[in-house]
Amino acid sequence: MRRKYTVAQAEACGYNRRATVTKQFQAIIFDMDGVVVDSEPLHERAFREVLEEIGYARSHGIDFAAYYGKSDLVVWRDFIARHRPPQSLAELLARKEEKFAALLQRVEPIFKGLPELLEKLSPGYPLALASGSRHPTIDAVLDLRGLRRFFRAVVSSEDVEHGKPAPDIFLRAAELLAIPPNVCCVIEDSAAGVEAGLAAGMTVIAITNSLPIEKLARATKVVRTYGEIESLLLPSSALRAPSPPRRGRGTG
């Protein structure tokens, strides 16, 4: 069942716009595209290959950068509204996902330092993945280098009523982890993701993998490297809140 959340619900959970990364966290929620994998160029290439096949190589009118942090569903719905192609939404989604999965297997674009960060965080924090991608794409990424083992909960935009910048996806991840939103920290790379995390009442660390600092200025903290994230979240064991008992891994 897809879940729907309101900003009022997020605020009731303790949203504090002035929160700092020195607070104690009980869970870390990662975005996927642009945080776990350097996938935005591959997504764009997969879209362009499909568009070329259906005759819109030069006339699609899509500004791909404007869709960073948003789902394939949003891109294709906008394209269909503009051009009315004969292909169905389901067909376009499937064709793009197939091409992306093939590219992903060839390139394996996991960000340098990301697996090591997950290894260090996972013993002390329950980790979740909250992605605007659909489950087939998420599964393809998590199959790379055993990444799936780090995440106790996985949520797709398919699982909630509204995608980013609405808070739904992060609130659902917190719900699956059984952790209050106001003690969750989000790792994001897009402006839409930053807004979603803030609206969920969470602290947001933004990394400049996809956008410059000024585009991410609303985040609680903006960093350039995974080493900086490690320093913020693991300054010492004394600064970390106790992790709750391990639960069965939820999947959205």
Dist CA 137 CA 104 (whole Å): 9
Dist CA 75 CA 80 (whole Å): 9
For residue 229, what are the contacts with CB-CB under 8 A and spacing of at least 6? 117, 187, 205, 207, 223
Dist CA 139 CA 186 (whole Å): 20
Dist CA 18 CA 218 (whole Å): 11
Catalytic residue among 31, 159, 168, 189: 31
Told to judge if 31 belongs to the known catalytic residues of this protein, a careful annotator would answer: yes
Please count the residues of the chain: 252
Q: What strands lie across the sheet with 127-131, from one edge to the other?
A: 221-223, 203-207, 184-188, 27-30, 127-131, 153-156, 250-251
Dist CA 205 CA 30 (whole Å): 10
Dist CA 103 CA 176 (whole Å): 31
Closest alpha carbon to 219 in 230, 209, 204? 204
Dist CA 156 CA 168 (whole Å): 10
Dist CA 104 CA 107 (whole Å): 5
Q: Calculate ∠ Cα 238-197-2, nearest 5°.
A: 120
- Active site residues per annotation: 31, 33
